[in-house]
Structure 1
């Protein structure tokens, strides 16, 4: 049982037991897997990759912050790619960590 007594993770009580960093890394793995397929890259993903890697005095972005900052666009891309597994994890990450 968790601190809230509700039987599930509750970010408003504690982040204990919620792997936000690990799930953010998994989302980026889904992004990479989808972008490896022909015709899936676009100007947004080029911009996202630059922020993800850091460049010219801009530090490398934290995965969770990067995803949170572009949550709706990432969701739209996963929907267009019909990646239900990625969408489910993105929803979980948003509900638990963002």
Structure 2
């Protein structure tokens, strides 16, 4: 009988839906920006960074890995606890 444990990125990324979680977090980011939630400086910053991301052909997980701390600050500024929790999960499991 095998013991079932939580996914562990140090053993394998199998069973961890990193790309799906990253896409969901970016959707939350875009939603907050489109609703003009949080400070204008953050909305401008992430709008510019998303353009750069697309020009460089980087995926969403790569973007999140490079923007983790600013994303925490922005989601805190927005009061978006769900996005903050998802970002934490991505950081722990995927980055």
Q: Distance in 2 between matches of 1:13 and 1:38?
A: 40
Q: Which has the higher contact order (CA 8 A, sep 6+)?
A: 2
Structure 2 alignment gaps of length 5 or more = none
Structure-2 residue corresponding to 1:47: 48
In structure 1, stretches of 5+ residues that fail to align are: none
Asked if residue 71 in structure 1 is aligned to residue 72 in structure 2, the reply is: no
Give the number of the structure whose residues are more often helix, by fraction: 2
RMSD of the alignment, in Å?
2.0
**Displacement, 1:46?**
2.9
Superposition misfits of 4+ residues, deviation over 4 angstroms: none
Q: CA deviation at 1:6?
A: 6.8
Give deviations 1:39-89, integer Å, cap 9, x for gaps.
6443312321212321xxxx3211111110010001100011010000110
Normalising by the residue count of structure 1, what TM-score does the alignment of the two structures yield? 0.83
TM-score using structure 2 length: 0.85
Q: Give aligned pairs, total.
A: 92
